[in-house]
Amino acid sequence: MDNNSPNIMALAPNTSNKRETVCIFGTGDFGRALGHKMIQSGYPVVYGSRSTQISNLIPKDAEVLSHAEAAQKAAIIIIAIQRQHYNFLTPLAETLRGKVLVDISNNLKLNQYPESNAEYLAQLLPGSRVVKAFNTVSAWALQSGTLDASRQVFVCGDDVEAKQMVMNIVRALGLTPIDKGTLLAAQEIENYPLQLFPMWKFPIFLSLGLSAFFFCYCLALDVIHTYVYEKNDFSFFIAVTIPNRVCPVMALVLLALVYLPGIFAAIIQLYRGTKYRRFPDWLDKWMLCRKQLGLIALAFAFLHVLFTLVFPLRSFISWRTRTQTVSQALNNRTEPLNNTNAWLSDSYLALGILGFFLFFLLGITSLPSVSNNVNWREFRFVQSKLGYLALILCTAHTMVYGGKWFLNPAAYKWYLPDIYMLSLVIPCAVLVVKFVLILPCIDKPLTQIRQGWERNPKHSE
Amino acid sequence: MDNNSPNIMALAPNTSNKRETVCIFGTGDFGRALGHKMIQSGYPVVYGSRSTQISNLIPKDAEVLSHAEAAQKAAIIIIAIQRQHYNFLTPLAETLRGKVLVDISNNLKLNQYPESNAEYLAQLLPGSRVVKAFNTVSAWALQSGTLDASRQVFVCGDDVEAKQMVMNIVRALGLTPIDKGTLLAAQEIENYPLQLFPMWKFPIFLSLGLSAFFFCYCLALDVIHTYVYEKNDFSFFIAVTIPNRVCPVMALVLLALVYLPGIFAAIIQLYRGTKYRRFPDWLDKWMLCRKQLGLIALAFAFLHVLFTLVFPLRSFISWRTRTQTVSQALNNRTEPLNNTNAWLSDSYLALGILGFFLFFLLGITSLPSVSNNVNWREFRFVQSKLGYLALILCTAHTMVYGGKWFLNPAAYKWYLPDIYMLSLVIPCAVLVVKFVLILPCIDKPLTQIRQGWERNPKHSE
Amino acid sequence: MDNNSPNIMALAPNTSNKRETVCIFGTGDFGRALGHKMIQSGYPVVYGSRSTQISNLIPKDAEVLSHAEAAQKAAIIIIAIQRQHYNFLTPLAETLRGKVLVDISNNLKLNQYPESNAEYLAQLLPGSRVVKAFNTVSAWALQSGTLDASRQVFVCGDDVEAKQMVMNIVRALGLTPIDKGTLLAAQEIENYPLQLFPMWKFPIFLSLGLSAFFFCYCLALDVIHTYVYEKNDFSFFIAVTIPNRVCPVMALVLLALVYLPGIFAAIIQLYRGTKYRRFPDWLDKWMLCRKQLGLIALAFAFLHVLFTLVFPLRSFISWRTRTQTVSQALNNRTEPLNNTNAWLSDSYLALGILGFFLFFLLGITSLPSVSNNVNWREFRFVQSKLGYLALILCTAHTMVYGGKWFLNPAAYKWYLPDIYMLSLVIPCAVLVVKFVLILPCIDKPLTQIRQGWERNPKHSE
């Protein structure tokens, strides 16, 4: 390796001393913001513009030339113009041959055009080397220097050398380039900044809908029923008591909904006898948002813990305790310890704590930096084994909590069951079916199917 | 840089328009799953198989040819066959010359063969360019599209261009390639999916063993002793009271065990007068699992916090409070505020809260994404300074809690000390020795040794 | 792509079988530690030293030669000597031509020299290929094998091939190379290990100062005032009561200080009518430490939650409850439920819980691994929308808490307001101004300005 031959890959031997000139086509907001930032980072910047008279919006240290002149001054040209004006570049095709063109454009809607802007640019100017970059950065953030959010800049392009040159600029601006491969990734990169939590929409709307239903249900049974039949105004239950009934119910139901699609998938595979056919669309979508459902369930569980722990601080609870104690003292009565109650209350609390603890662990392992550090086997162990254990503990917690009221007619106001009973339906169903599925006589064929075996290979397609 | 010369590194100038054909040798489960996924991502797939008659297990859009014919159709060949059948490839050596062979195989045991499968393949076919990839991905996850776990695909290979081509495919499938360097990394990559939390085994078994011991100890002193001598059935202590005695003890002991090996290391270095000799094996291993020990300690501390905070909600505690208040009321007695008790209870709680808070901070900084953003100096500051502060606070918390019972004979049931006394042994020892080690007369030679100085250079090896 | 042509980029075709020799100039601590580690990883190591007699500090398996001889044996030379001795390398320029020189040096102060050590080395030896690496790793960590902290090694250099060779070594030692681009990044990489939480300094000193002030303020009003005028010794309030008054106040004030600079920035932009002029320096710095301020505020909120939840466990609180109940029983009085109090207490708790929950969510999204996975739009949604919602909830929580004492003269001890009133000043100001800023008549020009429009383009520079 003692070769002194010139290194073909040495991108810019002189970059160690000074930066190369960068040309920017377009003097719009983003073009100016990027120019400002580049000048700050030591790059000479030349703008290509229709009117070459110096506009005072443009950074002072930048030169402004016609498009053709500006393009000749630099190896890298940043195309800071709208896609609909790209065709004005075609006359410049000869000047732009071999140049690195950086497409930074964004669209207004997801998949607005059949092909990505960068691919369209590459088709217009087949002789130039197109790189997609910078579209995920906000002009406002570049301008104000407050890049609190992601410093990642997705870069893609067919020409590796051109991509390297652009990635060097990205690094020089204090950002982190992420290589996303060839221009085929451009569509995805252009869609990226338009998204607003796409995977979260369905889980969040589902949770809001369910919470509203359970809230009204509780309001009817706990506040309105009491007011109608007992003339007691417990409207303040709206603040803490009812939220603390809705949160645990939501947490348990959503946690069960995380494991339900896996159950359906297993049943469908057993029925079909093959894994090589696609699941129905609704099941596919459901499986893809399990992580989000689980995290929302964890949020409800977290709120439930906080709401429960503040109980002793509530004015209502201390009034109730005081009243009970005073009446007991006034009746001159001493009460022995009820061992059954002590057992029930303690085991209900302990089950809840352990369930929440496991649930919290599951949440931590779904942090990207943690899940990137575990392999597939470890991830399945945590999410499947620990997840089911958490579901079992939380279901048991709910059962022990309400156990003694199950057969008590007083628990059925207006002939409706209490919500903790409703909340047990899905978890119990999931656990029962899962228990059946792990019986050896059913688990064995399922494992075979998942390893590629087919019951009726002839009919599989 | 205004060169129009053809770019040597341009890997596949035509990939911007269509994907290149990929060949897969082997029609087993993983080969089929990968083929399905590749066809979905727009790659033409051709299978190389012994029997060229079309099997209906294979994706409809894929071609099936003989191995030699299939290999000629593609530049990249995925070897989806078992290592023990690799030698059937030797007759194809001429066809495979210069091709990129992707080894995706896994073994059943760690380090099953002397060399990795990928290196073995490279030895069998010296003319081809072997890349290791995809072995960390699960066929089931590829098939069902639910890649919840890590999307990272480790890639290694001696040929940079070949590696780039494989990494492009990885990206096209929606996965994240991680370059692990040359084929020397293949052994590690092949072992990766077989691991099940290797660093966690010892800490978890140690914690389980210690917890079981402390649980039985508490059971004997708190439940059985009370039952035998006072005829009180406090069996429900098993649910909350005893766990809440075991958890803090475990947290404190494990936290001290995190700092103990550092103390041993310092003593060994001081005794030897050099840092250039390896520590004994047990100490090396212990030092490598400090992070895991610390995180398990944090889990116990977290459980301790939850168990403590639910105390006011327990049926037993509210019964006890009620009974005390009623008896006080019946005896017509008002009780003045005991200032010492108020001080003890409040400072014990405050120490615990601050200790837990620092402990929690330490836990957050050990998240991979956080610790990657701190430099060595910052990490040492947090883990050493804040860690010792947390240990001091937690030890003080335990001492204040049990302070007044230390010399009280009633605290020694069956002549055994309470577990909080046992729990103080290791932390106090660590703190005392650490205090000695930071005395200037001892700290100075230790710092010199750690900077490379040796007391007896002649005898150091 | 069926070419058999030799691959130009194939860095070291023989590395698949054995590691290449690495030369280390300098036998100081770090040189030895690195040599040890490299020998463990299978690299033949040769030391270049002034005295070629074998020192027993050097790893046994390493060779020791003169600098010139050693350099000839390897393609990669690690320069483990101080910058001030670099000029002794100039006579070796011919031998070092084309070699990869790895600069691992660190300075003692930030920006100690005008150019980075690596750039200085590259200037001294223009024929060689300089790569900066390894300076962020601790010799002690390499030696003891306990790389708990970041395993990242920042690498930069102008020669891509040389950088690849060094990155392969980094990977072989079990570390993760991070490509930081050309040698221009060397200055930053050399400064990196010298930093001790540079962004945290101001926020932490501000918090300490403010906390100390609020602590003394509370001490005067709650302990000293009570002692002077009521002769009650409540000195134990120092442990829990006063911290639990300071923490929420700090959390609220710091959270408001996170949003205050954004308000100032908007006002400045409205006044100037342009976004193309830099903010004053103090505002720039303030905006850059918003994340840190927010996280410290979250830490105070977390402590507030813990301190609040342990209230029922305090000896003082249970004494107070008992005394109240006993006196009520002795007076033979039953007390009706005060509905207003129940509403106030419950809504105050519910607001606090929801505010803390949102605050906690904000904290999670500021974890690097989470914020890297959200785009700019999502980040702004969370930090701006959810952040303001959290501020509103926390302000309302504080207002409801103290609401009824506002106009009560008893709340003004020594004519000073209670600290919860002080704490409301900044949050209320922020919320009021923010409300004004989102009125359409003000929001519209502001949005235009942020999109690049200018009121007086002539005077903008």
pLDDT at position A2: 37
pLDDT of residue B366: 84
Average pLDDT score, chain A: 84
Say if residue A16's pLDDT is above 50.
no
Higher pLDDT, B452 or B418: B418
Ranking A138-152, B297-311, B324-338, B425-439 by mean pLDDT, the lowest is A138-152
| Per-residue pLDDT, A143 | 67
User: What pLDDT does B327 receive?
Assistant: 87
Report the mean per-residue pLDDT for chain B. 84
pLDDT value at residue A354: 96
Residues 128-187 of A with CB under 8 A from C: 136-141, 143-146, 148-150, 152, 164, 167-168, 171-172
Sheet-wide strand order for C152-157: C63-65, C45-48, C22-25, C76-79, C100-103, C129-132, C152-157, C176-179
Which residues, in sequence order, are CB contacts of B126 under 8 Å at separation 6+? none
Please check the confidence at residue C55 and state whether its pLDDT lies above 80: no
- Which residue has better confidence, C20 or C432? C432
Give the pLDDT confidence score for residue A274 in this predicted structure.
Answer: 80
CB atoms within 10 A of CB A158: 26
Contacts of A148 in chain C (CB under 8 A): 290-291, 371, 379, 383
CB contact under 8 A, B196 and A279: no
Whether the pLDDT of residue A130 is over 60: the answer is yes
| pLDDT band for position B294 (cuts 50, 70, 90) | very high
Closest by CA to A389, choosing from A419, A413, A355, is: A355
Best B30, B197, B306 member to test A by mutation, with max A CBs in 10 Å, is B306
Domains of chain A: 22-194 (3.40.50.720), 200-451 (1.20.120)
Mean pLDDT, range B201-221, rounded to an integer: 94
**Whether pLDDT at B11 is above 80:** no
Q: Which residues contact A91 (CB under 8 A, 6 or more apart)?
A: none
- CB C329, CB C323: distance < 8 Å: no
Q: Return the minimum-mean-pLDDT range out of A20-24, A87-91, C265-269.
A: A87-91
Instruction: Return the ∠ at Cα A369 (arms to A368 and A372), rounded to 5°.
Output: 80
User: What is the DSSP secondary-structure string of B436-460?
Assistant: HHTSHHHHHHHHHHHTT--S-GGG-
What's the whole-number mean pLDDT along residues B36-57? 79
pLDDT 10s digits, C284-307: 888 888 889 999 999 999 999 999
Q: Could you tell me which residues come within 8 angstroms of residue B88 by beta carbon, excluding any fewer than 6 positions away? A: none
Q: How confident is the model at residue B336 (pLDDT cuts 50, 70, 90)?
A: confident
| DSSP-derived secondary structure letter, C412 | -
Inter-chain residue contact B310 with A312, CB threshold 8 Å? no
What region does B181 belong to: left with phi over 0, alpha with psi -120 to 50, or beta?
Answer: left
Q: What is the mean pLDDT of chain C?
A: 84
Q: Mapping DSSP to helix (H, G, I), strand (E, B) and coil, where does residue B48 land?
A: strand
Looking at chain C, which residue has its C-alpha nearest residue B371? C150
Q: How confident is the model at residue B62 (pLDDT cuts 50, 70, 90)?
A: confident
| pLDDT (0 to 100) of residue B4 | 38
> What is the DSSP secondary structure assignment for residue B55, as one 8-state letter?
P
What order of strands is seen across the sheet that includes strand A45-48? A63-65, A45-48, A22-25, A76-79, A100-103, A129-132, A152-157, A176-179
CB-CB contact of C153 with C136 (8 Å): yes
Is B356's CB within 8 Å of C28's CB?
no
**Alpha helix stretches (DSSP H) within A381-453:** 387-402, 419-437, 440-450
Give me the mean pLDDT over the A150-162 stretch.
Answer: 85
Q: Hey, is the C-beta of A403 within 8 angstroms of any chain C C-beta?
A: no
Q: Letter for the amino acid at C442?
A: I
User: What is d(CA B76, CA B168) in angstroms, rounded to the nearest whole number?
Assistant: 12
Number of CB atoms found within 10 A of residue B3's CB: 9
C149/B265 CB distance under 8 A: no
Q: B63 - beta bridge partners?
A: B46
Mean pLDDT, to the nearest integer, of A445-450?
Answer: 86
Give CA separation, A188 vs A107, A183, C225, C357, in Å: 12, 10, 65, 33
Cα separation, C28 vs C85, whole angstroms? 13
ipTM of the predicted structure? 0.86
In contact, B350 and C243? CB cutoff 8 Å: yes
DSSP C383: I
Cα angle vertex C389, ends C384, C392, to 5°?
A: 125
pLDDT higher for C458 or B104? B104
Residue type, B133: A
pLDDT beyond 50 at B443: yes
What sign for the dihedral angle of Cα C337, C341, C345, C350? Answer: positive
Residue C349 in contact with partner chain A when CB distance is under 8 A = yes
CB A92 within 8 A of CB A68: yes
Give the max Cα distance, chain B: 103
Write the residue in A36, A195, A367 that is nearest to C367 by C-beta.
Answer: A367
CA C203 to chain centre: 11
Residue/partner pairs of C439-442 with CB below 8 Å, 24 or more apart: C442/C270
Who's near C150: CB < 8 A, 6+ residues apart? B371, B372, B373, B374, B375, B376, B379, C136
Residue C28 in this model has a pLDDT that exceeds 70: yes
**How far apart are the C-alpha atoms of B442 and B281, rounded to whole Å?**
25
Sheet order of strands, B22-25 included = B63-65, B45-48, B22-25, B76-79, B100-103, B129-132, B152-157, B176-179
A291–B148 C-beta distance less than 8 A: yes
pLDDT of residue A55: 61
pLDDT confidence tier of residue A429, bands split at 50, 70 and 90: very high
Chain B segment 310-339 residues within 8 A of C by beta carbon are 311-312, 321, 324-326, 328-329, 332-335, 337-339
C267 has pLDDT over 90: yes
Share of chain C above pLDDT 70, in %: 90
- Asked if residue C79 has pLDDT above 50, the reply is yes
Neighbours of chain C (3+ CB pairs under 8 A): A, B
The shortest C-alpha distance from C152 to chain B (Å) reads 7
* Partner residues linked to A77 by β-bridges: A23, A101
Does the beta-carbon distance from C149 to B379 stay under 8 Å?
yes
Which H/E stretch holds residue A77? Answer: strand A76-79
C318 to chain B: nearest residue by CA? Answer: B321
Of B279, B342, B452, the CB nearest to C236: B342
Residue B409 has pLDDT above 80, yes or no: no
Check pLDDT > 90 for residue A376: no
* Lookup result for tokens 């004015």: A315
Average the pLDDT over each of A387-391, B395-399, C291-295, C383-387 and give the range with the smallest value.
C383-387
The span from the CA of B410 to the CA of B418, in Å, is 10
Highest mean pLDDT among A298-302, B3-7, C5-9: A298-302
Distance CA C393, CA C301 (A): 13
Q: Which residue has the higher pLDDT, A276 or B91?
A: B91
Mean pLDDT score, C65-76: 89
Say if residues B400 and B424 touch (Cβ distance below 8 Å). no
Question: Exposed e or buried b for every residue in A256-279, given b needs 16+ CB within 10 A?
Answer: bbbbbbbbbbbeebeebbbbbeeb
Residue C429 has pLDDT above 90, yes or no: yes
Instruction: Please list every residue in chain A whose beta carbon sits closer than 8 Å to the beta carbon of residue C326.
Output: 329
DSSP type of residue A21: P
Whether residue C376 is predicted with pLDDT greater than 50 in this model: the reply is yes
Say if residue A243 is exposed, middle or buried (CB neighbours under 10 Å; 0-12, 13-18, 19+). Answer: buried
- For A194-211, give the DSSP string: G-S-GGGHHHHHHHHHHH
H helices present in B366-454, as ranges: 368-371, 376-380, 387-402, 419-437, 440-450
For chain A, list the contacting chains (3+ Cβ pairs, <8 Å).
B, C
- Tokens read off for B110: 């760690």
Using DSSP's 3-state secondary structure scheme, residue C322 falls into helix
- pLDDT score for B203: 93
| pLDDT tens-digit map of A287-318 | 888 889 999 999 999 999 999 999 999 989 98
Burial of A455 (0-12, 13-18, 19+ CB in 10 A): middle
Instruction: Give the other-Cβ count within 10 Å of C184's Cβ.
Output: 23
Cβ separation A195–C375 shorter than 8 A: yes
Confidence of residue C52 (pLDDT cuts 50, 70, 90): low
Cβ separation A376–B32 shorter than 8 A: no
Query: Which subunits count as partners of chain B given 3+ CB pairs below 8 Å?
Result: A, C
- Greatest mean pLDDT among C123-127, C175-179, C184-188: C123-127
Q: Which of C77, C89, C153 is nearest to C121 (CA)?
A: C89
What's the pLDDT band for C158 if we cut at 50, 70, 90?
confident
**Nearest-angstrom CA–CA distance, A78 and A104:** 7
**Could you read off the pLDDT of A321-370 as tens digits, one per residue?**
888 888 888 887 778 888 888 899 999 999 999 999 999 999 998 888 78
Calculate the alpha carbon distances from A391 to A253, A347, A353 in Å.
Answer: 10, 16, 13
- State yes or no: pLDDT of A177 exceeds 80: yes
Strand stretches in B158-296, DSSP E: 176-179
pLDDT digits (tens, 9 = 90+) for A241-289: 999 999 999 999 999 999 999 999 999 989 988 877 778 889 888 888 8
> In the numeric block, which tokens belong to residue A184?
């085929």
Q: C145: distance to nearest CA of chain B, Å?
A: 8
Q: Across the interface, do B328 and C319 touch by the CB < 8 Å criterion?
A: no
A positions 233-292 inside 8 Å of B (CB): 265, 275-276, 279, 284, 287-288, 290-291
Nearest-CA distance A287 → chain B (Å): 7
Q: Predicted confidence band at C253 (pLDDT cuts at 50, 70, 90)? A: very high
Q: Which position has the higher pLDDT, A457 or A185?
A: A185
pLDDT at C388: 94
Q: Would the pTM of this model clear 0.90, i.e. be above it?
A: no
Nearest to B145 among A284, A374, A451 (CB): A284
Residue B207 exposed, middle or buried by CB count within 10 Å (0-12, 13-18, 19+): buried
Give the confidence band of C17 by pLDDT, cuts at 50, 70, 90. Answer: very low
Are residues C251 and C298 in contact, defined by beta-carbon separation less than 8 angstroms?
Answer: yes
Instruction: Tell me the CB-side half-sphere exposure of residue B358, using CA atoms within 13 A.
Output: 20
Tokens 């490509």 label which residue? C179
